[in-house]
Amino acid sequence: MILMKAKPLLENRRSFLKQKTEALIQTLGRAPRLVVILVGDDPASQIYVRNKAKAAQSVGFIGESYVFEATTPPQKVFEFVQDLNENPDVDGILIQRPLPPSFNEKEVMFWVVPEKDVDCLHPENIGLLVTGNPRFAPCTPAGILMLLDFYHLPVEGKIACVVGRSNIVGKPLATMLMARNASIIQIHRSTRNPADLCKQADFLFVAAGSKNLVHRDWIKPGAIVIDVGIHRDEFGKISGDVDSASVESLVSGITPVPGGVGPMTIQMLLENTYTAALNQGK
């Protein structure tokens, strides 16, 4: 059984990105700049936002985070984002989700200009992805594919089951797996008998946001399981959407939580920001 940790892959990838950044700074005359925006005081989001800015700094970028109160009118945040859109020294902008209910997600996805949309949520970027000509790859799905490559696990010709269909993980992940010639089963809240469908999967990707949803009865023996979920209990212990203890003896590979998909997501955010800066400099 392979425990598919991100660390062995990230050590090289981070230092390579740092080297490339040094060269890019020479060309641009400035460091790539990533701005992360949080609205509200969700404790988990606060940690994510800080970690993203810190990770950016660790490779030589300017990494900044801005926090607005949950009661901030959407127009005010929109204007802040517009200023960043127009600022030639800003390369990447990320608006952390979830947003307070006063924000209309269908509008917010248009706020960041596509060229700086390093989270890959703008409909133009999603369209480019679906039609096979991506500008950016959405961070979590791209990080997952990179993990599969590192552990030599090709999905071509295999059955891949994706639990979840969010715009940020489930939908783009299914698209990217299809582009690699996997056959896709997509599971969501209205799916009947999800365990029976998951049991057909050679590769099972779980991004439902429901702690320990997937257990032994959902797994085909020998399957590869990718756990995207992140849940923090009252003692700060982190676990995923998969009941890992119950499936470990059955699978041939599984990502740990923490230390699997999460760090890969951050790496891909940095790589997208690098690409955005490179494109701005052209």
* Catalytic residue numbers, as ranges: 52, 96, 119
Instruction: Say whether residue 40 binds ligand NAD (CB under 6 A).
Output: no
Spatial distance between the Cα atoms of 53 and 95, rounded to a whole number of angstroms: 12
Binding of residue 163 to ligand NAD (CB under 6 A): yes
Q: Which is nearer to ligand NAD, 31 or 109 (CB)?
A: 109
CA gyration radius, the chain: 19
The answer to whether 207 contacts ligand NAD (rule: CB under 6 A) is: yes
Residue type, 176: M
- For β-strands 224-227 and 159-163, DSSP reports them as unpaired
166 binds ligand NAD (CB under 6 A): yes
Instruction: Confirm if 36 and 96 have CB atoms less than 8 A apart.
Output: yes
Q: How far apart are CA 17 and CA 184, in angstroms?
A: 32
For the chain, give the longest Cα–Cα distance: 56
Tell me if 229 contacts ligand NAD by CB under 6 A.
yes
- Closest distance to ligand NAD from the beta carbon of 158 (Å): 21
Given the complex with ligand NAD, which of 108 and 168 has the nearer CB atom?
A: 168
Sheet holding 92-95, edge to edge: 62-68, 33-39, 92-95
Query: Which H, E and C letters describe 161-208, residue by residue?
Result: EEECCCCCCHHHHHHHHHHCCCEEEEECCCCCCHHHHHCCCCEEEECC
Among 269, 263, 277, CA closest to 21: 277
Residue 5 structure tokens: 């940790």
- Alpha-carbon span 118 to 135, nearest angstrom: 9
Give the separation between CA 223 and CA 252, rounded to whole angstroms: 6
Nearer Cβ to ligand NAD, position 207 or 250? Answer: 207
CB of 281 to ligand NAD, least distance (A): 28
Q: Which stretch binds ligand NAD (CB under 6 A): 13-21, 51-59, 84-92, 260-268?
A: 260-268
| Among the residue ranges 1-9, 82-90, 116-124, 225-233, the one whose residues contact ligand NAD (CB under 6 A) | 225-233
Q: Is 50 in the site for ligand NAD (CB under 6 A)?
A: no
92 binds ligand NAD (CB under 6 A): no
- 63 counts as binding ligand NAD under rule CB under 6 A: no
In the list 35, 153, 187, 214, the residue contacting ligand NAD (rule: CB under 6 A) is 187
Closer to ligand NAD by CB, 30 or 215: give it. Answer: 215
By the rule CB under 6 A, 152 interacts with ligand NAD: no
Interaction between residue 201 and ligand NAD (CB under 6 A):
no
174 binds ligand NAD (CB under 6 A): no
Binding positions for ligand NAD, rule: CB under 6 A: 140, 163-166, 168-170, 187-189, 191, 194, 207-210, 213, 228-230, 261-262, 265
